[in-house]
């Protein structure tokens, strides 16, 4: 019988939630790395017992932890993230040039095929990778050549927060940066292009600029890797040509501001977002926590509310804090800044809290185990 | 033998109980002590001082013999009591944040 393992990163440590395939009763273990910020942890698709975690602190900097037994034990591996050459400057909030400076790893994306190969998206924005299980890290400096001098930080920092690997094209990687936009390589990181045509952002001088868009998250279904979905700062977007152009699919959402976006495990046109009131009010509209589902790849959305608080709820759901399992029916999970992790074992029709009182949740990932 | 007391999070990271005792060759400077500490516990590299610049991280402090040595040169000699092991070098996470 399958089991499900939910990996939760929080402001004060990591937690591992496990259940059988019914997803009704959960065992909760942790905190791991108590007191440290765990921006993200994720398992290798090639070896589900191999996990990686990004552990950081304002006092003691960045650590990468690795587990070879599904999270029961961990060991620190390499934490030296040094930009290649002289990284130059990017735009600062006041428009002046500002030197690149490493702050933390936001997102870890293990290779689809090799447990020892992993990508790390960092702040200040850059993509690193390791081919020795996280012991040593090398930057893809050519990414910064894609108009990096014009990138600028969003309110959360200038972070590379999303890494999407194309299962049908091993040398193709999509990444997203706040606030620069989406970029793609087709040659394993040697060259990169901005992929932001069709995005419109009113908060920048040229709303249609090639870079400068605050992309919050992009998602792909592995069976259809040329179709991408994006939650931008404002606007939910879709690309049907691997990011070459985008069009808006916000449709009837109550607000198209938000952070995460996810795709159903078995239905490539079923997608999920969590609308948030606005960029100045990071909580759900009307105090009602609602996941919205579209079964048509966008434009037509339905509110999913059963089991979620429908009054006095003012939490946020961050960009890396929603994930799906691979069971049938598909399970969906998200964590909140209020420390709740909600799960649905029926593709979002109904929800229940798995745990209510964790530290603020930064990330949620799911492993479906045999 | 030089004694070093680490903050809780770094003891946990390096799996250390209690004080660290280090043999330091040559003059007992802060740089020499940190070099010896990181050689014994490689996972501490980057946590106390920057990997590249070797500058102290902003929220880390060095105390010994009731003195704040945080702003001293890394090449300055540590107090004699630290050098001979009667007093420890305290590496402290600054009181900041929540």
| ipTM, interface predicted TM-score of the complex | 0.94
- In chain A, residues 268-307 whose CB comes closer than 8 Å to chain B: none
Q: What is the mean pLDDT of residues B67-84?
A: 96
The pLDDT score that the predictor gives to residue A156 is 85
User: A335 in a domain, yes or no?
Assistant: no
Measured distance CA(A78)–CA(A97) in Å, rounded:
30
Residue A137 near chain B (CB below 8 Å): no
Beta-bridged to residue A53, according to DSSP, are A41, A65
pLDDT at B98 over 60: no
Mean pLDDT of chain A: 97
In which domain, by residue range, is A240 found? Answer: 26-311
Q: What is the pLDDT of residue A203?
A: 83
d(CA A168, CA A185): 14
Q: Note if the bond before A179 is cis, omega within 30 degrees.
A: yes
On whether residue A341 sits in a domain, the answer given is no
Q: Is A170 on the interface with B (CB under 8 A)?
A: no
Q: What class does CATH assign to B2-93? A: alpha beta
Q: Note whether A122 and A129 are within 8 A (CB).
A: no
The tally of domains found in chain A comes to 1
| Residue A214 DSSP one-character state | -
Q: What is the DSSP string of A131-182?
A: SSTTSS-EE-GGGGGTTGGG---BTTBSEEEEEEE-TT-TT-EEEEEETBEE
The CATH number for A136's domain is 2.130.10.10
Q: Report if residue A360 sits inside a domain.
A: no
First vs last Cα of chain A: how many Å apart?
A: 7
- Write down the residue that tokens 């040697």 correspond to: A190
Taking the domains of chain B in order of start, what are their residue ranges? 2-93
Q: What is the pLDDT of residue B96?
A: 67
What is the rounded CA–CA span in Å between residue A237 and residue A234?
9
In a domain, A169, yes or no: yes
CB atoms within 10 A of CB B4: 21
CB-based contact (8 Å) between A36 and chain B?
A: yes
User: Tens digit of pLDDT for each residue in A50-107?
Assistant: 999 999 999 999 999 999 999 999 999 999 999 999 888 999 988 899 999 999 999 9
The answer to the question of residue A63 being in a domain is: yes
Q: pLDDT, tens digit, for every residue of B41-70?
A: 999 999 999 999 999 999 999 999 999 999
Query: Distance (Å) from the C-alpha of residue A80 to the closest C-alpha of chain B?
Result: 7
């Amino acid at each position: 019988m399958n089991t499900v393992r939910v990996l939760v990163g929080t402001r004060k440590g990591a937690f591992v939630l496990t259940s059988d395939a019914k997803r009704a009763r959960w065992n909760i273990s942790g905190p791991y790395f108590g007191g440290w910020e765990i921006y993200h942890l994720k398992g290798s698709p090639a070896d589900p017992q191999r996990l990686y975690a990004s552990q950081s602190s304002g006092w003691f900097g960045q650590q990468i932890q690795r587990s070879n037994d599904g999270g029961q034990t961990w060991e620190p591996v390499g934490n030296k993230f040094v930009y290649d050459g002289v990284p130059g400057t990017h735009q600062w909030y006041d428009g002046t040039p500002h030197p690149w400076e490493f702050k933390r790893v936001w997102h870890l994306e293990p290779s689809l095929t090799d447990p020892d190969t992993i990508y790390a998206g960092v702040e200040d924005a850059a993509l690193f990778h390791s081919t020795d299980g996280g012991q040593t890290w090398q930057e893809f400096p050519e990414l910064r050549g894609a108009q990096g001098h014009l990138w600028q930080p969003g309110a959360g920092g200038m972070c590379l927060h999303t890494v999407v690997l194309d299962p049908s094209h091993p040398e193709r990687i999509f990444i997203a940066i706040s606030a620069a936009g989406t970029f793609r390589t087709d040659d394993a990181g040697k060259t990169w292009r901005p992929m932001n045509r069709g995005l419109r952002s009113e908060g920048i001088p040229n709303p249609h600029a090639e870079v400068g868009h605050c992309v919050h998250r992009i998602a792909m279904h592995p069976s259809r890797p040329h179709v991408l979905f994006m939650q931008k700062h404002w606007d939910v977007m879709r690309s049907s040509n691997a990011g070459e152009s985008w069009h808006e699919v916000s449709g009837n959402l109550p607000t198209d501001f938000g952070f995460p976006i996810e795709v159903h495990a078995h239905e490539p046109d079923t997608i999920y977002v969590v609308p948030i009131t606005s960029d100045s009010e990071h909580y759900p509209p009307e105090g009602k926590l609602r996941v919205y589902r579209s079964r048509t790849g966008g434009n037509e959305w339905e509110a999913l509310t059963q089991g979620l608080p429908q009054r006095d709820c003012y939490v946020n759901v961050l960009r890396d804090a929603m994930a799906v399992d691979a069971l049938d029916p598909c399970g969906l999970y998200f964590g909140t800044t209020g420390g709740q992790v909600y799960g649905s074992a029926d593709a979002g029709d109904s929800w229940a809290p798995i745990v209510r009182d964790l530290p603020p949740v930064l990330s949620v990932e799911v492993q479906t185990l045999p | 033998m030089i004694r070093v007391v680490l903050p809780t999070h770094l003891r946990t990271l390096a799996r250390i109980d209690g004080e660290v005792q280090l043999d330091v060759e040559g003059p007992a400077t802060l740089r020499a002590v940190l070099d010896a500490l990181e050689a014994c516990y490689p996972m501490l590299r980057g946590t106390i001082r920057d990997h590249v610049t070797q500058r102290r991280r902003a929220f880390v402090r060095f105390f010994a013999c009731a003195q704040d040595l945080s702003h001293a040169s890394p090449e300055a000699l540590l107090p004699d009591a630290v050098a001979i092991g009667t007093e420890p070098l305290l590496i402290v996470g600054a009181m900041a944040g929540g």
